[in-house]
């Protein structure tokens, strides 16, 4: 896939590796790792963070030799009823926060193709009903 900068809210994702060693139960069968713009990721549940862990990850990410050691986060990728793309992340709180504090434009992620029903399992009645 190609990367395209955010233009009018649209972008394409760039595959950056086929790493499979650091996986979650949700993304274990997914080999593709993408650089996803931080600006499109919805994180509806507040994170509970260990500050030392965030600082350690920031140091790892800042170092060109070690930043590849940080595993990708999982993102639920939901296609809206009119073709829109929606990206939700519930885990990877420390990795996400480290990238946010470092003002990184993108974060490594595995995209887990999902449905509105899948999102409902995470958010219950707070699930948006009108994803277009």
Domain ranges of the chain: 14-19+29-126
pLDDT in tens, 30-73: 889 999 999 999 999 999 999 999 999 999 999 999 999 999 99
Contact predicate 32/15, CB 8 Å = yes
> Which of the following CATH numbers is that of domain 14-19+29-126: 3.90.1530.10, 3.40.1360.10, 3.30.70.100, 3.20.20.80?
3.90.1530.10
Distance CA 52, CA 33 (A): 26
Confidence (pTM): 0.79
Distances (CA, A) of 117 to 16, 30, 60, 120, 127: 29, 20, 36, 5, 9
Contact predicate 13/111, CB 8 Å = yes
Task: Tell me the pLDDT band of 77, cut-offs 50, 70 and 90.
Answer: very high
């Amino acid at each position: 896939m190609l990367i395209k900068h955010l233009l009018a809210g649209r972008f394409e994702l760039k595959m950056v590796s086929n790493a499979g060693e650091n996986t979650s139960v949700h993304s274990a069968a997914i080999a593709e790792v993408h650089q996803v713009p931080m600006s499109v990721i919805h994180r509806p549940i507040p994170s509970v963070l260990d500050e030392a862990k965030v600082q350690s990850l920031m140091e790892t990410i800042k170092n060109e030799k070690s930043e590849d050691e940080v595993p990708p986060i999982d993102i639920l990728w939901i296609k809206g009823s009119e073709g829109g793309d929606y990206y939700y992340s519930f885990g990877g709180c420390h990795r996400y926060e480290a990238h946010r504090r470092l003002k990184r434009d993108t974060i490594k992620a595995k995209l887990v193709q999902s449905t509105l029903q899948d999102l409902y399992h995470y958010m219950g009645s707070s699930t948006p009903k009108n994803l277009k």
